C-alpha cells in the first residue's frame, strides 16, 4: 500500500515537472522568439502608387535593414516602423504612431534618443526608386519589444528628424505589415 502511494507521488512529480518544461519551452517560443529574419511587403495607400520590400536580418552588429521601393516622387521620404500591424484604412492611419516601446523622443536612426521605429529617410531617384541598406543598432526581432507584427510606413515628405513626435513627414503613401521570415 505504501509502495503504491509512493509510486503515485513519483508519477505526479514526473508529470508536473515534465509539463512545466513543456510549457516553458513553448512560452519561450511565443514571447522571446528566435527570429533571424523578417520581411515587410509594402502596398500603396489610396491615391498612391508606392510599393516595395524591406527585409530585416539579424547580424552580430545589429539588424541589417534593406529596402527596395518604387513609385516614389524624387527626393526624401520619411520611413518608420509604426506601432500597429494594421494597414486596413485607406490612408494608413490605422498603423498608429511610431513604434516606441521605450518611451523615447523622435530622432534620427543613428542618434542616441530615437523611437525604435525611426529609420530616417529613403531617397528616391528620378525613376522613383529608392534603395537603402544600413545596420540598425536599436531594432529588435525578438523579445517583448520585437518589431514582428508591427508595420512599416513610407511618408509623402521628408522626416526632419526633430519635429515631435512625427518628424513632420506628412501623409502615408505606403503601408505593410512586418512578418517573420524563414
Residues with catalytic function? 80, 82, 98, 106, 115, 118, 155, 172
Site map for Cu ion, 67-96, x if CB under 5 A?
Answer: -------------x----------------
Least separation in angstroms between CB 159 and Cu ion: 7
Spatial contact of 53 and 39, defined as CB atoms under 8 Å apart? yes
Site map for Zn ion, 98-117, x if CB under 5 A?
Answer: x-------x--------x--
- The DSSP element (H or E) to which 23 belongs, if any, is helix 2-27
CB atoms near residue 86 (< 10 Å): 17
Taking CB positions, which residue lies at the least distance from Cu ion? 80
Q: Which of 122, 153, 175, 178 binds Cu ion (CB under 5 A)?
A: 153
From the list 45-53, 67-75, 108-116, 151-159, the region that binds Cu ion by CB under 5 A is: 151-159
Give CA–CA dist 40/145, Å, rounded. 17
Least separation in angstroms between CB 179 and Cu ion: 19
The full 3-state SS of 50-86, as one line of letters, equals CEEEEEEEECCCCEEEEEEEECCCCEEEEEEEECCCC
Spatial contact of 159 and 120, defined as CB atoms under 8 Å apart? yes
Beta carbon nearer to Zn ion, 98 or 140: 98
Site map for Cu ion, 99-138, x if CB under 5 A?
Answer: ----------------------------------------
Taking CA atoms, 64 is separated from 135, 153, 156, in Å, by: 4, 18, 24
Amino acid at each position: 500500500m505504501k509502495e503504491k502511494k509512493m509510486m503515485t507521488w513519483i508519477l505526479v512529480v514526473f508529470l508536473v515537472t515534465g509539463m512545466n518544461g513543456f510549457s516553458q519551452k513553448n512560452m519561450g517560443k511565443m514571447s522571446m522568439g528566435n527570429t533571424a529574419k523578417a520581411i515587410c511587403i509594402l502596398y500603396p495607400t489610396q491615391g498612391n502608387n508606392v510599393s516595395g520590400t524591406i527585409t530585416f536580418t539579424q547580424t552580430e552588429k545589429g539588424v541589417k535593414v534593406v529596402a527596395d521601393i518604387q513609385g516614389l516622387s524624387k527626393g526624401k521620404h520619411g520611413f518608420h516602423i509604426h506601432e500597429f500591424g494594421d494597414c486596413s484604412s485607406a490612408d494608413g492611419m490605422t498603423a498608429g504612431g511610431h513604434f516606441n516601446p521605450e518611451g523615447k523622443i523622435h530622432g534620427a536612426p543613428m542618434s542616441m534618443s530615437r523611437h525604435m521605429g525611426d529609420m530616417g529617410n529613403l531617397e528616391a531617384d528620378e525613376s522613383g526608386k529608392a534603395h537603402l541598406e544600413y545596420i540598425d543598432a536599436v531594432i529588435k526581432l525578438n523579445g517583448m519589444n520585437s518589431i514582428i507584427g508591427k508595420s512599416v510606413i513610407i511618408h509623402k515628405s521628408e522626416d526632419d528628424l526633430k519635429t515631435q513626435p512625427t518628424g513632420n513627414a506628412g501623409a502615408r503613401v505606403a503601408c505593410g505589415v512586418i512578418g517573420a521570415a524563414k
